[in-house]
Structure 1
Amino acid sequence: MSVKKRVCMLSFSPMLFDARIQKEAQALRDAGYLVKNIYLEDQRYLSGIKNLTEAQENYNRDMHGIQTIAILLWTKKFNNIWKPLYHTFMSIELTFKLLYVLITNKAEYYHIHDLEPGLFAWVGKFIYGGKLVYDAHENEIHRHGPNRVGILSKYEKFIVSNSSLNITVNEDIKLKMQKLHNKPVLEIANRPKYIPYDHIDRERLRTEFALRYDQKVIMYVGYVIPWLRGVEIVLEALEHESMNDCVFLIMGVGRLDEFKNHLKNYAEKKGLKNAIKRVLFIGPYSPDEIVHYLNGADVSMLLYQSDQSFNQTNNAPNKLYQSIMARTPVLASHNETFPVYIYGNGIGKIGETVRESSVDDVRMKILTILDKDNQELYRRNANLLAQEVSWEAEASKLIEAYELLN
């Protein structure tokens, strides 16, 4: 590529711990593109991060050569006023600020992450003649509940029809998008960079948090969202006497202060006095650090509640692949996606699936995974599978797709 082409990545989500956006931006940077990340900052998201300065330093280190433009909405400070008025003011501010940033940052490619920034990127495409790249991190039309599926389907059809490249994270969503919009969609799975097993710092978790080796560690990694990810189910299971030697570590991102209050109130309501004492919030950490901490856990939980939304049943999230890369056994929902990876991966079981809404079933499956022989089996199989689910092959697919747009 003789002249470096410019890529503007747009997201309405905070950037600090978004592994997918960071990896894609790094891959494009390393391939010779000039990349800018434009996103909406969220002060409530940042307020729960204890090690914020360190996290920002790690982000700057990993994203060197990539310009980051954070858009801070002043109107968010007034979220206690009448909601229709609040949303009106915020929408006006968002529109003016984002349009200004787009107009002053000409690019050959406008790469949107999720559906929300699509219309703004289309404006950039219209003004400068750039190409639109739509990157759906999940089934976007189902993200906001059944009442909005109709209008979001039409909006997504408009974005897809105006995009030169459409991307999503797994085969199920890819097929549904292709059927709905009659355009090709590229699958780029949300996988971590490959780490050889002997390069993992296997002592980091227990050393840093003074965890005894006779303690069993259950870990949740990812966005903290009340009710949707099964954290409350594990907390209830933890109260049972058979789980007394277990601790529950939550490496969460999102509005952590709000979620901590939610979990505290839930424990008080349910009488989970012993369980809540064995819950520890850690991190969050940069994407490249997560595997080292996760390796020290005995169980990585992915209890997506299937009755909540389409995306809870058709999900192959980054944390699944991070668990495999960490060689940590997985406890996951018995939905349409997870059993394929856990039982049908061609190598062997890497954990268990479970009826994710049942406290007793979750508890029994945790105990199954904690069995010494099972631990060895699941970790051995995950080690064999790790190289097959790494980011490097996905990055090559992304670069090849971009090259075809030139």
Structure 2
Amino acid sequence: MKILHTSDWHIGRTFHTHSTLGHLRIVLDALAGAVREQGIDVVLVAGDVFDSSMPSAEAMTLLSDAFRTIREAGARIVMTSGNHDSITRLGFHAEWIRLADIHVLTQHSRLEEPVTLEDEQGPVHFYGIPYLEPSLIRHDYPGVELRTHEQALAFAMQRINEDRAMRAGRSVVLSHCFTADVAPSDGVERDISSGGLDLVPASVFDGPDYVALGHIHGRAQLSERVRYSGAPLHYSFSETDKLRGGWLVELGADRLGEVAWLDLPVPRRLTPLTGELDDLLTDARYAEHEGDWVKAILTDRVRPMDAMRRLQQRFTHCVALEFKPSVTAELTTASYGERVRERTDGEIVAGFLEFVRNGVGPSEYERGLVNELFVEQDVREVRA
């Protein structure tokens, strides 16, 4: 059986206020094309199907279209919910879309009820673990201590492994969680927690032939059989160098076979550009990035005026701006009184400008303007 492991579609998410629906549609259409070309039997989505618990009509339509194109390409679909999803909304039509071989697993009370799909080598049992928030499920299991995500996932896997032991065939688990074996980064979809209570060791998932994880936005291999696929789109500039795609998993007759990476297209590249504003606006070597999502990191010693508008005249999709001057003023321990003692008003203003502009004092125009203002003030005081 050929399985494509994906996760974190985040349908409806914006990128610096820009809709990503059009780009995600391109990627999911390419995914359906890969299903047809590669002969993929099952597509997995390990949580965070939507970006919001209340997805828009446009987001719902995109999911419906993705279901249709993937099924028309020949693959069945198994998905579970993540922390961004509403299990009620995502699972609302689960009973009847199952008839179309689209399986949405959102109920923690039904972990022992796998989706069983057949190939020429026998059954494969797919278990879906929705995102488990201990504080929201512990009242359903009064005899079980469920204070941490590790305890919740260990309890879920215990139930699944007990069911696995009574069934013949191979098994796959989908789960949306954050394992302690992956370093935290901006590409991790994490909840606010205290003391690492949301961390789950990879050893919790011992047992199944393959474990498809979601929750981080970059691919990661925890072991040969436990992996993250990452998100299909870049949702942060911290993800710029992370590949986009999914794991193509082959299950043999009695064990895990080859696992290979399948690239998916990147509709618009993410590119951080560093330099002084004038260089970014005029240097020919940046021409290839004019159609990218651009984050400009300006190194000018003085913050340029109207920088974003000027950048967007060349880089239409410049969406982020950071000021990081190449030279910064040295801090002094002298008090304010010590710094201004025996200095004229004009010198005090010049010193202030030099301090806030990283060592760059007033221009000749600014110096003349300051002197003119102080002269006018002196004239008014004499007249008074």
The TM-score with structure 2 as length reference comes to: 0.34
Structure with greater helix share of residues: 1
Which structure: greater strand fraction?
A: 2
After TM superposition, the score normalised by the length of structure 1 is: 0.33
Larger radius of gyration: 2
